[in-house]
Structure 1
């Protein structure tokens, strides 16, 4: 299974459209996951044309997005548990808030909020932030992620300008 992971799209404020580099990857996706800060449901409507979409809402999302998505989810693919949360909050790092959002042991936690690509293990849980395809802030590249699930999880960033 091939899953494209993106977040912090902030469309139409930070970008007007989904970038071509992302569209290329979406064409071969079996599933799509969005880590929040969609801003409008138009992003969801565009993504669902490529593959089934799961996601959560972020701190910048309005009422229409919050009505459709929850603040956290647990998805199961091939018996692997994947937690999904935006990661916003106070007094801790985004990574710490993401891992502490769930009480159960997970194989992976996907999160957003910081716009900073992140890939690291916390004990046996893989933490992954895809970055942003429209708002790189001070980083040199835009980014998103591609996850492959077989017996295990393999995930990597795709960086582009």
Structure 2
């Protein structure tokens, strides 16, 4: 199973369309996960035309996006129980808020966004993943998203790229 994890697309705003590098990766995906801050239902529609989409809304998403996706959710894919959350809030780091959102849940993976800083790491027995952003790298040198292969092995890979066209 191939999963593409993206988020913080901020369209319109940080771009007028999703980058071709991301869309090409989504072409053969079984599932696309979005960590929030879509900014437009058009992003949801575009991604849904390529594969099944699961996601959450972020702090800048309006009522249209909040009607399409929840604030957080639990999903099961390829034998993994995953918690999805944007990670915004007050106090603590984005990562700490994401971990706390699933403190009472038995999850293998926590997927979050908000910071635009890509992360793949283990923390207290849970795999934490933040795809960064394919459209708003902020002060980082690259745009990013994650591919996650789930089979006999679980293989997350951070995809870094320079051109967001």
- TM band (smaller chain): over 0.9
CA distance in 1 between partners of 2:152 and 2:81 (Å): 12
CA distance in 2 between partners of 1:154 and 1:91 (Å): 32
Kindly provide the CA deviation profile for residues 69-112 of structure 1, in whole angstroms up to 9, marking residues without a partner as x: 11101110122101100000111110010011011121100000
Give the equivalent residue in structure 2 for 1:16: 16
Alpha carbons 1:36, 1:55 under 8 Å: kept: yes
Give the equivalent residue in structure 1 for 2:95: 95
Alpha carbons 1:29, 1:51 under 8 Å: kept: yes
**Structure 1 stretches of 5 or more lacking a match?**
none
Give the equivalent residue in structure 2 for 1:108: 109
CA distance in 2 between partners of 1:148 and 1:93 (Å): 28
Q: TM-score of the superposition, structure 1-length normalised? A: 0.97
Alpha carbons 1:107, 1:124 under 8 Å: kept: yes
Whether 2:38 is the aligned partner of 1:38: answer yes
Shift of 1:152: 4.8
The CA RMSD over aligned residues, in Å, is 0.9
CA distance in 2 between partners of 1:110 and 1:62 (Å): 21
Shift of 1:151: 4.3
CA distance in 2 between partners of 1:151 and 1:123 (Å): 23
Q: When the two structures are aligned, how many residues end up with a matched partner?
A: 161
CA distance in 1 between partners of 2:153 and 2:75 (Å): 15
